Amino acid sequence: MAEHRPGFCVWLTGLPCAGKTSIARQLAPVLSGRGLDVELLDGDEVRRQLSPDLGFDRASREVHADRVAYLAGVLVRHGVVPIVALISPYASSRARAREEIGRFAEVYVATPLEVCEARDAKGLYRRARAGEIRGFTGVDDPYEPPERAEIRIDTVGRSPGECARQVADGLVRLGFVPAA
């Protein structure tokens, strides 16, 4: 019989274009290399599959975050490590995710708004500032930064790979991941 390892969730939160997905993509092979079963749940990709019926108002975003938390919780119960890269702008949504999932490491990708806007290849911030997009997080909808995230990553001046290694080191420090 195979050994059952307890799963845990790495939940990256931050403004749009903060670097969540880039860090998650770098983190996945680091954790896989340590023998963990990893699944990346990117907010944009998961939304297309789980929540195409939802908009971007607060209620819809909370329902989407709840759906992602449910899926992540199922994966954790089966020994998988879901890496969730989701704006998840509201503290209440992240608190419900923490409660739903149990073994949970919140990672705050703390990138300043002006840096996120400069990184925006899709021009979403520009469109939101022009009033073409309503309810855009960080522009006319709030982002509530975590007050007690287990890990905080400042991305300015650091590559996604460096940030991923910092997250992995934090997960070792928290006891989720064995040291390399």
Tokens of 29: 């092979």
What's the gap between Cα 91 and its chain centre? 13
Is 60 catalytic? The answer is no
Contacts of 150 (CB under 8 A, 6+ apart): 105, 106, 107, 170, 174
Q: How many residues comprise the chain?
A: 180
Instruction: Name the catalytic one among 60, 88, 93, 159.
Output: 88
Q: Measure Cα distances from 122 to 42, 97, 118, 142, 150 in Å.
A: 17, 28, 11, 20, 30
Q: Please give the single-letter amino acid code of residue 24.
A: A
> Catalytic residue positions?
88
